[in-house]
Amino acid sequence: MVLTNLQKKTSQTVFSESEYAILEKTMRREGDRCLRDRINDAMDKFDAVRYHSKSDNIFERPDFEDRRVSITPLEHLMETRWGLHFKDTDEYAIYSVFYGDDSRVFRSYYRSDNAFNVEEPLHP
């Protein structure tokens, strides 16, 4: 039926508007989950390199780059922030850490642009 409609150059909606909204929301959540996982993996690698390089004085620069990701510190008044660029997908993200008065750690994840000016919170 779809092939027949394509051959006739007519179109028929596959999803209703409500189904499309649900699909779009679900796909956004899955994309955000994948990006959050990639951010955590990159920051784990960044922390490991920083930890092991301190004793050798190799890690003098506060940023990090390899063939998959580049990580750059970002200025912020209250939080410690890093901007990440995933080279294979050309995605940009911001990873943020805030230390509360009671020593609690708050982490935030954002989708961003190449200048790290946009902050779109990732779905949990």
The string of pLDDT tens digits covering residues 71-86 is 999 999 999 999 999 9
Q: How confident is the model at residue 8 (pLDDT cuts 50, 70, 90)?
A: low
Domain assignment present for residue 106? The answer is yes
Domain assignment present for residue 1? The answer is no
Domain assignment present for residue 3? The answer is no
Q: Which of 10-14, 63-67, 96-100 has the weakest average pLDDT?
A: 10-14
Task: Tell if the pTM clears 0.75, that is, is over it.
Answer: yes
Give the total number of structural domains in the chain.
Answer: 1
The string of pLDDT tens digits covering residues 21-56 is 999 999 999 999 999 999 999 999 998 887 776 655
Q: Name the residue range of residue 105's domain.
A: 16-121
As a whole number, mean pLDDT of residues 54-62 equals: 56
The whole-angstrom distance between residue 21's C-alpha and the CA centroid of its chain comes to: 22
As a whole number, mean pLDDT of residues 68-72 equals: 94
Nearest alpha-carbon partner for 122 in 84, 79, 77 = 84
Domain assignment present for residue 36? The answer is yes
**At 115, is the secondary structure helix, strand, or coil?**
coil
Domain assignment present for residue 45? The answer is yes
Domain assignment present for residue 68? The answer is yes
- Residue 114 in contact with residue 70, Cβ under 8 Å? no
